[in-house]
């Protein structure tokens, strides 16, 4: 059966990706060999961020599987809690490589910085190496979706002075 598909929200330039900014995201889909050159394709949903009105938007990131590009895959794996930096150091010292099952990480949350990038004359948002665990000190000030953190059972570490800041804000 056919159906009508209104064009009110149609974007002729493609999907409505999030604007550049710092985001709390959730991994929603992984195709480990989905790209034209066998690269891994990961889709992320924006849960919160520094750029207003981006929640719910999807970001797609491609991860090449070349020796030069594996650092990005390791960075993503660390941000998702699949491996630690210390474990990677031990594997490297033993001349071994980790084996990752990224589809098993679907549903996990991380923080990701997106920047404006120009590819083949078109602007797009891209994440280079700005991928962190949600509890990482480097992203302590980034916006987070507390309901989604709670749903996933993620408890952020208490930051020194956080209670004082919270109490001061309540007084405003």
The residue among 43, 77, 82, 71 whose CA lies nearest residue 129 is 71
Read off the pTM: 0.82
Right CATH number for 21-155 from 1.10.10, 1.10.3470, 2.60.120, 2.40.50?
A: 2.40.50
Phi-psi region of 21 (alpha: psi -120 to 50; beta: other; left: phi over 0): left
The phi, psi pair for 154, rounded to 5°, reads -90, 125
For residue 78, give the nearest of 47, 108, 55 by alpha carbon.
Answer: 108
Residue spans of alpha helices (H) in the chain:
70-79, 85-93, 146-151, 162-170
φ, ψ (nearest 5 deg) of residue 112? -145, 130
pLDDT tens-digit profile, the chain (172 residues):
666 666 655 555 556 789 999 999 999 999 998 878 889 999 999 999 999 999 999 999 999 999 889 999 999 999 999 999 999 999 999 999 999 999 999 999 999 999 999 888 888 899 989 999 999 999 999 999 999 999 999 988 876 655 454 444 444 4
Question: Quick one: pLDDT at residue 10?
Answer: 53
Mapping DSSP to helix (H, G, I), strand (E, B) and coil, where does residue 131 land?
Answer: strand
DSSP H or E stretch at residue 30:
strand 21-31
H-run or E-run covering 123: strand 122-126
Please state the domain extents for the chain: 21-155
Structural Rg of the chain based on CA atoms: 18
């Amino acid at each position: 059966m056919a159906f009508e598909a209104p064009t009110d929200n149609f974007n002729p330039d493609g999907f409505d990706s999030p604007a550049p900014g710092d985001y709390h995201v959730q991994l929603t889909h992984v195709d480990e060999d989905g790209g034209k050159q066998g690269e891994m394709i990961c889709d992320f949903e924006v849960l919160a961020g520094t750029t207003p009105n981006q929640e719910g938007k999807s970001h797609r990131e491609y991860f090449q599987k070349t020796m030069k590009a594996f650092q990005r895959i390791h960075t993503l794996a660390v941000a998702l809690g699949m491996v630690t930096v210390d474990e990677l150091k031990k594997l490297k010292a033993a001349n071994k490589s980790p084996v990752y099952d990224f589809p098993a990480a679907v549903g996990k949350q991380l923080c990701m910085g997106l920047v404006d990038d120009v590819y083949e004359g078109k602007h797009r948002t891209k994440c280079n190496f700005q991928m962190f665990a949600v509890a990482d000190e480097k992203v302590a000030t980034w916006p987070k979706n507390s309901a989604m953190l709670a749903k996933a059972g993620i408890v952020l570490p208490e930051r020194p002075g956080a209670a004082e800041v919270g109490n001061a804000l309540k007084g405003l």
